[in-house]
Amino acid sequence: MRPWCSRLSCWRSAELSLPSPQDIQAQVRLALAEDLGTGDRTAALIPADARSRVRVVCREAAVVCGVAWFAEVFRQLDPGIVIDWFFRDGELIDADRLVCELNGNTRALLSGERTALNYLQTLSGTATLARQYADAVAGTGVRILDTRKTVPGLRLQQKYAVTCGGCHNHRIGLFDAVLIKENHIKAAGSVTAAVKRAQALASDIEIEVEVESLAELEEALAAGARRILLDNFTPELLRRAVKRADGQARLEASGGVSLETIREIAEAGVDDISVGALTKDVRAIDLSMRFIDL
């Protein structure tokens, strides 16, 4: 796959768009290999030339995401399978609505069912949760950011789903930005030492430093930090931090964030709030794929 840092600047002047067809093909190829192995022994019970029509229904209200991966699963198994879509990525769907219909080779439909639904239900779950967080801070001007707490192997897919839900991308990985955290600071010796070293080594990309107190905030500002993560600050401390920074740095709140607390955090005046739950605590959307008469 292409390195994403070649196309994206740090902390997103442009959000992560749908990966290229080549990237999606590679991702799906690995997912199918994991499930099929040497072949689908159960689908082999069905005559090789049998054809079927199936429907995918969403059993709960959701934000749809994962259409391209779902379709690619069946394209790789049998390019002759036809899919009629009734919703696109980013669109809201009510409970018990038809997502799509498929028509084609029965064996291929059976073999691809689980992998295709895994993509669609997981990415729709990520997008749906992101929409809930985005709605919770509507009108505040605060950006909700994802993190690197993603399902292994689904980093790019989940970060794309976050944008479909109306939230925003933090760094994609360790390669496209510097985020100086607690352990980096301890290893470097101080906030000042870590920031100065980063400025010397990584002047071409954005640098962010995590602080855990107002004293560390002062040190970070004095060191010239222009992006600061306020870790586990209470709403009162967030307000004091915003007042002290006074526009000198972009401030991001992190830690202790939930749907119940995020509005108060946003109203403290920070610029961004990062939420690991967007991709870490995702619950798959309830989808079902059922065969119907031709």
pLDDT tens readout for residues 247-273: 999 999 999 899 999 999 999 999 999
Mean pLDDT rounded to a whole number for the chain:
93
Tell me the pLDDT band of 10, cut-offs 50, 70 and 90: very low
Supply the pLDDT for residue 134.
98
- The larger pLDDT score, comparing residue 40 to residue 1, is at 40
Give yes or no for residue 24 having a pLDDT over 60: yes
Tell me the pLDDT band of 15, cut-offs 50, 70 and 90: low
Give yes or no for residue 9 having a pLDDT over 50: no
- Specify whether the CB–CB gap between 184 and 212 falls below 8 A: no
Active site residues: 114, 149, 181, 210, 231
Supply the pLDDT for residue 88.
97
Exposure on the CB side of residue 19, measured as CA atoms within 13 A: 28
In angstroms, rounded to a whole number, what is the distance separating the alpha carbons of residues 284 and 40? Answer: 24
Supply the pLDDT for residue 190.
97
Supply the pLDDT for residue 294.
58
pLDDT tens readout for residues 111-135: 999 999 999 999 999 999 999 999 9
In angstroms, rounded to a whole number, what is the distance separating the alpha carbons of residues 60 and 93? Answer: 8
pLDDT tens readout for residues 144-190: 999 999 999 999 999 999 999 999 999 999 999 999 999 999 999 99
Give yes or no for residue 4 having a pLDDT over 60: no
pLDDT tens readout for residues 25-40: 999 999 999 999 999 9
Classify residue 143 by its DSSP letter: E
State the Rg of the chain over Cα.
22
pLDDT tens readout for residues 220-245: 999 999 999 999 999 999 999 999 99
pLDDT tens readout for residues 54-91: 999 999 999 999 999 999 999 999 999 999 999 999 99
Give yes or no for residue 3 having a pLDDT over 70: no
Supply the pLDDT for residue 202.
87
CB atoms within 10 A of CB 7: 12
180-216: burial string, b at 16+ Cβ within 10 Å, e else:
beeebbeebeebbebbeebeeeeeebbbbbbbbeeeb
Tell me the pLDDT band of 246, cut-offs 50, 70 and 90: very high
pLDDT tens readout for residues 209-222: 999 999 999 999 99
